[in-house]
Structure 1
Amino acid sequence: MSENRNAYIAAIIYAFVIGLSFMFVKVTLTVASPIDILAHRFTFAFIGIVIIMVMTKNKLIMNMQDLLKILPLAILYPIAFFTFQVLGLAKISSSEAGIIQATIPIFTLALAGLLLKEKATRGQLVSVSLSVLGVIYLLMMNGANTTIGNVIGSGFILLSAIATSLYNIFARGLTKKYSLLALTYVMTLCGFVIFNGMALGSHMMNGTLNEFFKPLTHAHFVFAILYLGILSSLGTSYLSNYALSKLEASKMSVFSNFATLITILAGVLFLQEDFHLYHLIGGIMIIIGVIGTNYFGRKNVEQVR
């Protein structure tokens, strides 16, 4: 019971940090490009994990075979997830992104059925359908009321949700084999190397290397990137790995709904983002669908027992 309680506390903190991260990404986008943001973000995250390992005197013993096993997980999270997230947030509001991100439990259920052969109940299928309709409704309303950029942005956020769902499925097995610190270190290292390689390579080719460091002269950018690097990238990697080592992937994915609420409130209160009636309708459809999916899932487990 104590382990489960700690896992749920970790999942709640994870959801809170992720929920606010959308707002901080929007802040950084005012002074830097998406790829530069990711590079700076994971530079601070990597510095953070190195300091932690030095302070704890943790010696990471890992061979190439271990790295190859963890690499696919790192490609999903943080690389694919954060890449699609920042590209999406460059096109749509953080509130819209948060609503679409609530589809993570739906994708988790669908992918678990496809990859793990887990069967869904009739109630779960109805709930999934409701959430899917909610996403389609949001996409249609975005397309009808704004530019095609919003549809593209929504598509990127959907891809980030799919990446997270795949991560939720595959991470559970690895968290039982490797230490949380080892997983977090490898995932952060991959983000640091890949994003910095892409950003610096692009600037060197274009002769604009000085522009890579220019955002660091802005105090609000530095504050936001510290939050994104230390708390959102490094902190959430550790918290999610810990929670997934104790909880099923479907239970962990439910906490994305709490993150959605935090994201919407932060966007409206601090960024003065517009929140229309169709956002509310689509969001309610998605969240009711997610709650139904997990309710009927637990009910089915109880019947089997």
Structure 2
Amino acid sequence: MKKGIILLVVATFFWAGNYICGRYLGSALPATLLNTIRWAISTLILWGLLAINKSKLPIFLRWKEFLILGFLGIFAFSTLNYLGLRSISASQAGMISAGIPITILVFTPFFLKEKIKTKAWIGAIISIIGVILLIQGRQTTSSEGSLLGEIEILLSCVAWGMYTVLGKKYGRKIDALTLTAGSAFYGTLFSAISCIGTVDSSLIHMTKNAWICIIYVSTFASVIAYFAWNAGVKIIGAGRAAPYINLLPVWTVLLGVLLLQEQISGFTCIGGLITIFGAVLASVQSKAVSATRT
């Protein structure tokens, strides 16, 4: 149990760094190309780890599971994040991501057949109110660009919620490393296809720091973080893992303030705290639910 918690904490910290890098890379690369490069590198690393462990990747045998998870967690989640970070701050994106446990809560009964407490649904409502306040308190001017960025981050939360729940389901038969490697392969294919007609060479402005960010998101925020999250969820279960995603906005705000000198308004902080509180309450599962973990 302790090992699973540590893995989840490590994953959220490295993902917070992904928000920081994504914000920085917004002016360096189109979101679709950034995600393709990130996961192409990550896929090669993951396949190398499988080779070292002398493990085979059932890329065609388990194609359905890999394709679904690749689309949700690798392509949709990451691309939507990078798109959103072009118009809103990393801190704000991180706080909106506090709504992820709510999406996990919503999808859990459908895919894992786990019963959800009434208290959890109350927490979900509180968290949704917090997200609404968070969006209303955005620092930028009320423009279509910033609103679109917020919607993109919200949609990424939905994608991640489905990825987490289905990852738990598929993880009963597939180990975490193989699951991540297979998902990365199909997710990279989706990302590469999305580059067609959306990438122009004039939009690419790479610098030394940009390459450092690419290396970070391709290793720490991808291979290490995804492996840690999948392994942690497998150890303690999707229901118990949900509250730990709330560390993501905390890490993101801290890193955004320290590294990007971002500032957040008091109204935004209130919305973020309410979102986190509701998400934590919503993530409290019954003994019956926790007992279903593998």
Do they superpose with TM above 0.5?
yes
What is the match of residue 155 of structure 1? Answer: 151
* 11, 16, 21: which one aligns with 2:18: 21
Match of 1:267 among 242, 256, 260: 256
Q: Which residue, 244, 248, 263 being the options, matches 1:255?
A: 244
| TM-superposed deviation, 1:113 | 3.3
Alignment partner, residue 166 of structure 2:
170
Query: Distance between the aligned counterparts of 1:171 and 1:59, measured in 2?
Result: 19
Is 1:100 the counterpart of 2:96? The answer is: yes
Q: Residues 4-15 of structure 1 correspond to what in structure 2 (within 5 A)?
A: 4-15=1-12
Computed over aligned residues only, the root mean square deviation of the Cα atoms, in angstroms, reads 2.4
How big is the shift at 1:117? 4.8
Closer, same or farther in 2 for the Cα pair 1:256/1:122, shift >3 Å? same
Cα drift, residue 175 of structure 1: 1.3
Question: CA shift at 1:11, angstroms?
Answer: 0.7
Q: Does the C-alpha gap of structure 1 residues 24 and 61 become closer, same or farther in structure 2, counting only changes over 3 Å?
A: closer
Q: CA deviation at 1:228?
A: 0.3
| Identity among equivalent pairs (%) | 23
Offset at residue 145 of structure 1 (A):
4.3
Cα 1:176–1:30 change in 2 (3 A) is same
Greater shift, 73-82 or 285-294, is seen at 285-294
Task: Find the counterpart in structure 1 of residue 72 from structure 2.
Answer: 76
What's 2:213 paired with? 224
For 1:254, what is the secondary structure of its paired residue?
Answer: helix
Gaps of 5+ in 2: none
Is the alpha carbon distance of 1:133 and 1:61 closer, same or farther for their aligned partners in structure 2, counting shifts above 3 Å?
closer
Q: 1:142 to 1:67 in 2, by over 3 A?
A: same
Letter in structure 2 aligned against 1:68 = K
Asked if structure 2 preserves the Cα contact closer than 8 Å seen for 1:94 and 1:264, the reply is: yes
CA distance in 2, matches of 1:62, 1:103: 33
SS state at 1:263 partner: helix
Show the counterpart of 1:241.
230
TM-score using structure 2 length: 0.90
Question: Could you say which residue in structure 2 is the equivalent of 1:64?
Answer: 60
TM-score by length of 1: 0.86
For structure 1, list consecutive stretches of 5 or more residues without a partner in the other structure: none
Aligned length: 290
Q: Deviations over 1:110-131 (max 9, x none)?
A: 2223444544333222221111
Between 240-249 and 108-117, report the one with greater CA deviation.
108-117
Larger radius of gyration: 1
